[in-house]
Amino acid sequence: MTRRADPTAPPRAPWRQGAACVTAHFRVTPKSSTDAIGAIIETPDGAAFQAWVRAVPENGAANEALEQLVAGWLGVPKRSVSLATGGKSRLKSLRITGDPLALDSMFRERTNALQK
């Protein structure tokens, strides 16, 4: 028997705190007309930020573009953001190194701004 999520429960955040990092989930659309991060969407793997990048999905270009986009969006150095999983998938996880509490606060602020 499969358990269904409680429809009245608040949606899960698309990021999780780790030891000295935060892991965030993104659904990426490459070859877009713009580089942008949009609302939180539900995917088969759970909540994720929708992201669009102009780069093509060849030789890791879209992954690199996503890393740069997220670093700029959060205001952290590019070296702090790295691909954790999903190298050849639209669903990707990025590891952002730094103080987990500060990063969590940044994600909450950016998420609130997306919802306005």
The span from the CA of 95 to the CA of 54, in Å, is: 21
- Joined together, the tokens standing for residue 105 give 């606060």
The residue extents of the domains of the chain are 15-114
Query: What pLDDT shows up at residue 115?
Result: 79
Round to whole Å and give the CA distance between 57 and 73: 21
CATH of domain 15-114: 3.30.1200.10
Q: 73-105 pLDDT, tens per residue?
A: 999 999 999 999 999 999 999 999 999 999 999
For residues 47-70, give the mean pLDDT: 97
